[in-house]
Structure 1
Amino acid sequence: MSEPLTTQYEILAARFRPLFARIAEGAVERETTRSLAFEPIRWLKEAGFGTLRIPVEEGGLGASLPQLFQLLTELAEADSNLPQALRAHFAFVEDRLNQPDSEERKRWFRRFIDGELVGSGWTEIGNLKLGEVVTKVTPTPNGWTLNGHKFYSTGTLYADWIDVYAQREDNGRDVIVLVNTQQSGVIREDDWDGFGQRLTGSGTTRFEQAQVEAAHVYDFSERFHYQTAFYQHVLLSTLAGIARAVTRDAAHGVAQRKRIYSHSNARLVKQDVQVLQVVGQISSWAYAVEATVQQATHSLQKAYERHDSGDEAAIRQANVQAEVDSAKAQVIASDLVPRAATELFNALGASDTRTSKALDRHWRNARTVASHNPVIYKTRNVGDWEVNGNEPTFIWQIGNGE
Structure 2
Amino acid sequence: MSAALAAILDEDPFPVPPPRGRPARRIRDDAEAIAVAREVARTIAAGAVERDQERRLPYEEMDLISDAGLLAITVPKAFGGAGVASGTVAEVIAILSAADGSIGQIPQNHFFILEALRLEGSEAQQRFFYARILDGERIGNALSELGTRTAQDHATRLGRTAEGLRLNGRKFYSTGALFAHWIAVVANDDENRSTIALVPRDSAGLTVVDDWSGFGQRVTGSGTTILDNVAVHPFAVISLRAVFERPTSMGPFAQIMHAAVEQGIARAALDETIRFVTTRSRPWKDAGVDRASDDPYTVAEVGELKIRLDGSQALLTRSGRFVDAAQHAPSTEAVAAASVAVAEAKVASTEAALQIASKLIELAGSQATLTRHGLDRFWRNARTHTVHDPIRWKYRAIGDYWLNGINPPRHGAI
User: Do these two structures clear the TM 0.5 threshold for a shared fold by scoring above it?
Assistant: yes
CA shift at 1:32, angstroms? Answer: 0.9
Matched residue, 2:139: 118
Matched residue, 1:174: 194
Q: For 1:115 and 1:129, how far apart are their aligned partners in 2? A: 34
Contact 1:32/1:356 (<8 A) preserved? no
Decide whether aligned partners of structure 1 residues 112 and 9 sit closer, same or farther in structure 2, where only a CA change above 3 A counts.
closer
Matched residue, 1:311: none
Task: Could you tell me which runs of 5 or more consecutive residues in structure 2 were left unpaired when the two chains were aligned.
Answer: 1-28
Identity %: 30
Contact 2:86/2:253 (<8 A) preserved? no
Residue 195, structure 1, aligned to residue 211, structure 2: no
Matched residue, 1:293: 316
The two structures have a TM-score, normalised by structure 1, of 0.89
Matched residue, 1:374: 390
What are the equivalent positions in structure 2 for 1:258-273 lying under 5 Å apart?
259-273=282-296
Query: Which residue among 345, 350, 357 is the counterpart of 2:366?
Result: 350
Contact 2:30/2:85 (<8 A) preserved? no
Residue 244, structure 1, aligned to residue 267, structure 2: yes
SS of equivalent to 1:208: strand
CA shift at 1:123, angstroms? Answer: 1.5
1:113-133 deviations in whole A, cap 9, x for unaligned?
111111111212226589753
1:346-375 deviations in whole A, cap 9, x for unaligned?
321201111221111111111122212121
Matched residue, 2:203: 183
Query: Which residue among 251, 255, 263 is the counterpart of 2:278?
Result: 255
Q: For 1:343 and 1:129, how far apart are their aligned partners in 2? A: 33
**Aligned AA for 1:293?**
L
SS of equivalent to 2:320: helix
Task: Could you tell me which runs of 5 or more consecutive residues in structure 1 were left unpaired when the two chains were aligned.
Answer: 1-7, 308-314, 398-402
Contact 1:285/1:337 (<8 A) preserved? no
Residue 108, structure 1, aligned to residue 129, structure 2: yes
**Aligned AA for 2:221?**
G
**Aligned AA for 1:248?**
D
Residue 158, structure 1, aligned to residue 179, structure 2: yes
**Aligned AA for 1:355?**
T
Contact 2:169/2:228 (<8 A) preserved? yes
CA shift at 1:259, angstroms? Answer: 4.1
Decide whether aligned partners of structure 1 residues 130 and 11 sit closer, same or farther in structure 2, where only a CA change above 3 A counts.
closer
CA shift at 1:239, angstroms? Answer: 0.6
1:100-151 deviations in whole A, cap 9, x for unaligned?
7612211111110111111111212226589753211122466421110111
Contact 1:275/1:346 (<8 A) preserved? no
CA shift at 1:291, angstroms? Answer: 1.3
Matched residue, 2:19: none
What are the equivalent positions in structure 2 for 1:1-400 lying under 5 Å apart?
9-99=30-120, 102-126=123-147, 128=149, 133-140=154-161, 143-169=164-190, 171-223=191-243, 225-257=248-280, 259-307=282-330, 315-395=331-411
Q: For 2:69 and 2:189, how far apart are their aligned partners in 1? A: 34
**Aligned AA for 1:353?**
T
CA shift at 1:260, angstroms? Answer: 4.1
The two structures have a TM-score, normalised by structure 2, of 0.87
Contact 2:281/2:364 (<8 A) preserved? no
SS of equivalent to 1:98: helix
- Paired residue total: 383
Decide whether aligned partners of structure 1 residues 80 and 131 sit closer, same or farther in structure 2, where only a CA change above 3 A counts.
closer
1:53-74 deviations in whole A, cap 9, x for unaligned?
1134423223111111111111
Q: For 2:154 and 2:120, how far apart are their aligned partners in 1? A: 25
Contact 2:196/2:238 (<8 A) preserved? yes
Contact 1:87/1:155 (<8 A) preserved? no
Decide whether aligned partners of structure 1 residues 119 and 55 sit closer, same or farther in structure 2, where only a CA change above 3 A counts.
same
SS of equivalent to 1:153: coil
Decide whether aligned partners of structure 1 residues 266 and 258 sit closer, same or farther in structure 2, where only a CA change above 3 A counts.
same
CA shift at 1:207, angstroms? Answer: 0.3
Q: Which moved more, 1:218-227 or 1:368-377?
A: 218-227
Matched residue, 1:312: none
CA shift at 1:261, angstroms? Answer: 4.0
**Aligned AA for 1:15?**
V
SS of equivalent to 1:377: helix
